[in-house]
Chains A and B, each alone.
Chain A
Amino acid sequence: MADEVEIRQETDRGGAKLGFAPWADPAARPLVRFDAVTKRFGETRAVDALSLDIFPGEFFALLGPSGCGKSTLLRLLAGFEAPSEGRVLLDGTAIDAVPPHRRPVNMMFQNYALFPHLTVEGNVAFGLKQEGRPRAEIAARVAEMLALVKLAPLARRKPHELSGGQRQRVALARSLVKRPRVLLLDEPLAALDKQLRGETQFELMELQARLGTTFVIVTHDQEEAMTVAHRMGVMDRGRIVQVGTPAEVYEQPNSRYVASFVGDVNLIEGRLAAVGPSGLLIDSTVGAKLATNQRVEADVGATVWVTLRPEKLRVATAPPAANENCVSGHVAEIAYLGNVSLYKVRLDNGFMMKAQLPNLTRVVERPIGTNERVWLSWTPDAGVVLTG
């Protein structure tokens, strides 16, 4: 196995310190390319003129609400659907005419789709048997794969004798044992409880880094996508609205849709009042003047939106010195989440703002209570100005 598997030490995700960034390299050849792919089901366009490149060794997440076409995209790659228009390319070759059973791509299904009449071993060996591999090789590779997912002691069990987490591992082993060029994961962790999901996310990342296989995961859970993926594509109604590293998508969303789908956000509508050398000044609907050090493609007078992440706001019980980037209101609700507390603040004009404070100490009484007047303020680089 070692001769075929490239071991990568790099496991950093999302952050700026990434050494692995083939998408930024103009000479890099994508492994998977969706070339203006449209998939129609009757009148609806599940995938709409979508183009996307995924690079070798990448862990790519497709993120979007249910019905946005992300699963259809995966099924187009697996071969269960054929594009109505456009092409799907693998390693530079169009694979639209290749049936699913001849594609070097394997899929882990959302419900795992384990064969109920076969044992764990039988399930994992199934793909290799179809290749007509010698019996000894099948046995060795199945044993190796079961050891990798820590299922060796359960090899002779049937799927109905396993827990949800164990079934998930069988499905993973079964789809990886054929050493696919691309592994497709359709909501692989949706059926697991929260704690197990968290652990499994890290195991998936570790496995992907060890094997170097290209992973494409479909999920509606933005936390999951941000945890596991090198890059993520946010989807809306059959289109990809933004592609980027988790940090790029979170800190620099390109639309209100992305800003509100990925993470919690305060969206403040305003009118562009002035464009200065150091940034923009915005008249907002929340009463305050907002200053940012950003630039946007918009004229003075245009409607813009400022997105502010709750954790970027400062909460104070006395008015801060600066007049800009500051609003005031009463605390309407406090959600204590353990590591952080989420404050819902009703501004004087009725607008609700969310602010998040880390609980750095083990205080029993909260320093700020409900109905207390507070001032929310932020720095000029905290907000992202959007025009759409």
Chain B
Amino acid sequence: MRRGASSFNLAAVALGLAFLYLPMAILVIFSFNASRLVTVWGGWSTRWYAELFADGAMLESAGVSIRLAALSASIATMLGTLAAIALTRAGRFRGRTLFTGMVYAPLVMPEVITGLSLLLLFVALDLDRGFWTVTIAHTTLTMCFVAVVVQSRLVTFDRSLEEAAMDLGCPPGRTFLLITLPLIWPAVAAGWMLAFTLSLDDLVIASFTTGPGATTLPMRIYSQVRLGVKPEINAVCTLMIAVVTAMLVVFSLLSKQTRANSE
């Protein structure tokens, strides 16, 4: 009963994809531009990549961003997984709906508000702003996403597997490590990927909560672009697109495996 796509559908899909990806395609192509002028094509070259890898400040920011993303994603994965377990397992405790809503709220909260409120908190606590405050801020943001991803796996998890393990003499804590975690790990790993990507991308919250010496890559790019777009920026953005794309591919593969496991 399959019908071929009509020409209208094809046109709509093509326009939609172009709207989403044309700017990025132009950016990627121009990162290989030999010309110094960003908008004039001067032939293929990788010179901007070479210049990028000689740019100490840019490399330092990349290092900050990656360390920040890895650390905040790891903490967020732990907290988010625990939250997901509490939400799916604790039954109907008082204030469960409120708790669920509070875990999900940061998903839709404007980043400016999250960033500003965290900044106010850090100022009130008189914390020195820098790498650690951004880590805390990113953990706050991304753990909600982890909780959502892991929770969707846990609701289909067969509790009788855990009961079987306990029945066979395995205490509850060890049951989680030996049975539950090995079975939900694709979801946990997918949550980590998502958290890592979100942290790597973030500009707004990092700008609010960082301090001297902890300039993330998006912040560095943004500040340089204000002084004019150099082709080097195109190169670094292309690399970021590559990293994020790779992460999202792994994330979707893991999600697929999660679904297969839960069936």
> Given A113-B158, A117-B183: A178 and B169 within 8 A (CB)?
yes
> Given A115-B179, A116-B261, A117-B182: A106 and B158 within 8 A (CB)?
no
A111 touches B165 (CB 8 A): no
A309 an interface residue at 8 Å Cβ cutoff? no
Instruction: Give the residues in chain A near B223, CB-CB below 8 Å.
Output: none
Q: Smallest CB–CB gap between A160 and chain B, Å?
A: 10
A101 touches B171 (CB 8 A): yes
Instruction: Give the residues in chain B near A106, CB-CB below 8 Å.
Output: 167-168
Query: Smallest CB-CB separation from A80: which chain B residue?
Result: B163
A109 an interface residue at 8 Å Cβ cutoff? yes
B166 an interface residue at 8 Å Cβ cutoff? yes
**Interface segment, A123-131, A248-256, A282-290, A314-322?**
A123-131
Q: Which of B158, B160, B169: most chain A Cβ within 10 A?
A: B169
Instruction: Give the residues in chain A near B164, CB-CB below 8 Å.
Output: 107, 109, 113-115, 174
Q: Which of A78, A102, A126: most chain B Cβ within 10 A?
A: A126
B79 an interface residue at 8 Å Cβ cutoff? no
Chain B residues with a Cβ closer than 8 Å to the other chain, count: 18
What are 19 sample pairs from A and B whose C-beta atoms fall under 8 A apart?
Answer: A78-B167, A80-B167, A99-B166, A101-B168, A102-B169, A107-B163, A107-B164, A107-B167, A109-B160, A109-B164, A111-B160, A113-B163, A126-B170, A130-B174, A131-B169, A174-B164, A174-B168, A175-B167, A175-B168
Range of interface residues on chain A? 20 to 34
> Given A109-B160, A111-B160: A116 and B183 within 8 A (CB)?
yes
Instruction: Give the residues in chain B near A113, CB-CB below 8 Å.
Output: 158, 160-161, 163-164
Query: Smallest CB-CB separation from A109: which chain B residue?
Result: B160
Encode contact with A along B108-145: 1 for CB under 8 Å, 0 otherwise.
00000000000000000000000000000000000000
List residues of chain B with CB under 8 Å of any chain A CB: 158, 160-161, 163-172, 174, 179, 182-183, 261
Q: Smallest CB–CB gap between B20 and chain A, Å?
A: 38
Question: What are the 6 tightest A-B residue pairs by CB atom distance, in nearest-first order?
Answer: A127-B168, A130-B169, A113-B164, A113-B160, A100-B166, A101-B166
List residues of chain A with CB under 8 Å of any chain B CB: 78-80, 99-102, 105-107, 109-111, 113-117, 126-127, 130-131, 174-175, 178
**13 further interface pairs, Cβ-Cβ under 8 Å (given A117-B182, A127-B168, A130-B170):** A80-B163, A100-B163, A100-B166, A101-B169, A101-B170, A106-B168, A109-B164, A110-B160, A111-B158, A111-B160, A115-B161, A130-B168, A175-B167
Instruction: Give the residues in chain A near B161, CB-CB below 8 Å.
Output: 113, 115-116
Q: Smallest CB–CB gap between B156 and chain A, Å?
A: 13
Complex Cα spacing A78 to B165, Å: 12
Query: Smallest CB-CB separation from B169: which chain A residue?
Result: A130
Instruction: Give the residues in chain A near B179, CB-CB below 8 Å.
Output: 115
